[in-house]
């Protein structure tokens, strides 16, 4: 992807983050899932670290590494035709230069956004330490000339313990530090309390949320002020559930109705053939 096109996608992606009408961001894990999601009308695509890892035969939160992560991003950007944001977990290394190297790799692969976690394994990084790492990611993107959207994820609501108001105060402190370091939004997976989300929205960064069955609706998240709603690994999990249900049906009933409603073979094949011909 040439730099002009990538920056056009970057500007489009940034403009999609807006209050009242948040970006609805499905998560892909390989080229085919990205093609299907794009053809279904998504304005942008995010990758899911879980889905990507599983598709490569490793568990989520393993050390996938910058090279393998970037390889998947490159294949996805080749077929998507819309902005792509890469889930790079915590950057595949604790040091700022590790995160910078991973950021550089996925930006070179065509990403115009990244998710960056503030937890490595079971360890929630100190706010100042994570801010330094985010600044390194921002600098890496600037060296490449790309206005990258940095979605700074905090795991306070996934891994944190204690009263919600205490965690909210901690999240706001991180938001101020992360904003100063160059982050564009604060990602709060695990937080579903709409009043709490609204309090974070009043802070220094736009707020992104993760949805799944049982979570508030898009309309509710929008009313609370979220600018982005993504699905994490939910689509990949649902796809793998179809594989499990179909296998069980085949083995126990000798039927295959669980495969009904699948995507059209020809449509997917034609889409990927067009990409191969352009390469």
Encode pLDDT of 187-239 as tens digits. Answer: 999 999 999 999 999 999 999 999 999 999 999 999 999 999 999 999 999 99
Encode pLDDT of 4-51 as tens digits. Answer: 999 999 999 999 999 999 999 999 999 999 999 999 999 999 999 999
- Indicate whether 16 belongs to any domain: yes
Encode pLDDT of 56-113 as tens digits. Answer: 999 998 889 999 999 999 999 999 999 999 999 999 999 999 999 999 999 999 999 9
User: What pLDDT shows up at residue 203?
Assistant: 97
User: What pLDDT shows up at residue 65?
Assistant: 93
Domain containing residue 20: CATH number? 3.20.20.60
Angle between helices 31-39 and 234-253 (to 10 degrees): 100
| DSSP class of 85 | E
User: What pLDDT shows up at residue 278?
Assistant: 77
- Indicate whether 70 belongs to any domain: yes
- What is the tally of structural domains in the chain? 1
Encode pLDDT of 156-198 as tens digits. Answer: 999 767 899 999 999 999 999 999 999 999 999 999 999 999 9
User: What pLDDT shows up at residue 160?
Assistant: 67
- Indicate whether 250 belongs to any domain: no
User: What pLDDT shows up at residue 162?
Assistant: 87
Residues 6+ apart with CB under 8 A from 272: 31, 32, 35, 79
- Indicate whether 278 belongs to any domain: no
- Indicate whether 65 belongs to any domain: yes
Residue 269: Cβ within 10 Å count: 11
Residue identified by tokens 């011909």 is 277
- Indicate whether 68 belongs to any domain: yes
- Indicate whether 146 belongs to any domain: yes
Q: Residue 134: which pLDDT band, with cuts at 50, 70 and 90? A: very high
Q: Look up the pTM and report it.
A: 0.96
Domain hosting 221: range is: 3-233
- Indicate whether 46 belongs to any domain: yes
CA distance 188 to 167: 11
Token readout for 146 is 């790309």
Mean pLDDT for the chain overall: 96
In terms of Cα–Cα distance, which of 45, 19, 8 is closest to 205? Answer: 19
């Amino acid at each position: 992807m040439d730099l002009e096109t990538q920056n056009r996608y970057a500007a489009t992606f940034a403009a999609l983050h807006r209050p009242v009408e948040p970006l609805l961001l499905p998560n892909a894990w390989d080229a085919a899932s990205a093609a299907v999601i794009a053809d279904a009308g998504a304005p942008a695509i995010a990758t899911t670290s879980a889905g990507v890892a599983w598709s490569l035969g490793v568990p989520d939160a393993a050390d996938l590494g910058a090279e393998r992560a970037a390889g998947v991003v490159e294949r996805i950007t080749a077929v998507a035709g819309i902005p792509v944001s890469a889930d790079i977990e915590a950057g595949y290394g604790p040091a700022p230069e590790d995160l910078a190297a991973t950021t550089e790799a996925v930006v070179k692969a065509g990403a115009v956004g990244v998710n960056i976690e503030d937890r490595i394994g079971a360890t929630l990084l100190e706010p100042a330490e994570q801010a330094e790492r985010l600044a390194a990611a921002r600098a890496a993107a600037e060296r490449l000339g790309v206005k990258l959207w940095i979605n700074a994820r905090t795991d306070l609501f996934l891994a944190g313990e204690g009263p919600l108001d205490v965690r909210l105060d901690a999240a706001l402190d991180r938001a101020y530090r992360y904003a100063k370091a160059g982050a564009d939004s604060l990602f709060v997976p695990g937080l579903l309390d709409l009043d709490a989300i609204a309090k974070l929205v009043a802070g220094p960064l736009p707020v992104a949320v993760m949805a799944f069955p049982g979570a508030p609706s898009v309309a509710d998240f929008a009313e609370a002020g979220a600018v982005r709603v993504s699905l994490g690994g939910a689509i990949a999990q649902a796809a793998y559930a179809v594989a499990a249900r179909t296998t069980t049906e085949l083995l126990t009933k000798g039927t295959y109705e669980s495969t009904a409603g699948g995507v059209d073979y020809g449509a997917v094949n034609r889409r990927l053939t067009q990409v191969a011909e352009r390469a």
